[in-house]
Structure 1
Amino acid sequence: MMTQNRRLFGIILGVLGILLIPLVAMQFTSEVDWDLFDFAVMGTLLLSTGLLCEFVIRTVKNKDYRIGLLALLVVALFLIWAELAVGILGSPFAGS
């Protein structure tokens, strides 16, 4: 139980750490221009992906299925992130 709580704490710290990157970058360059909505969307995306990964780790016992599902979640995260950032798929949600 203690290990699972540590992983949840690690997920939250990881999300905050990743969100610090654009926050710090905004202090040094005008190329990064995020507003509160951008941070909220990315925070939600990262936290939900992290929690889904934790759910898969806790519930899926077959190692091969677990690895496959985790890889699928990471690929989905990167596709959604890329779509929101530059619109690689051309959906109405594209940020460009």
Structure 2
Amino acid sequence: MNRVLVLGWLWFAGRDEQETKEFQVAVLRVLLTMAWVTIFVQLMNTLVPRFRPFDALEGVRLLIYRPRDPSFPAHPVAIVVGARVALLAAHRP
């Protein structure tokens, strides 16, 4: 939810029309990067299955629901890193 709010704010931010357009291009790059990262993570989960530690140990009682996806790569981390790299690339001097 925070990412949506930040990207929404960034879409309309800017002191003048030129800066607003630059920010909008940056937001589009972030969204495209997030889509590519999602595809990459899904592909990695399909090609290289990594099981969660509780799957290897007997008698582990989970305190939360049993996640269905592999443990690596972590999708939230991949999204945040991808978005950050896209923003840094958009704001290069």
Q: Same fold (TM over 0.5)?
A: no
| Bigger radius of gyration among the two | 2
Q: Normalising by structure 1, what TM-score?
A: 0.41
Q: Which has the higher contact order (CA 8 A, sep 6+)?
A: 2
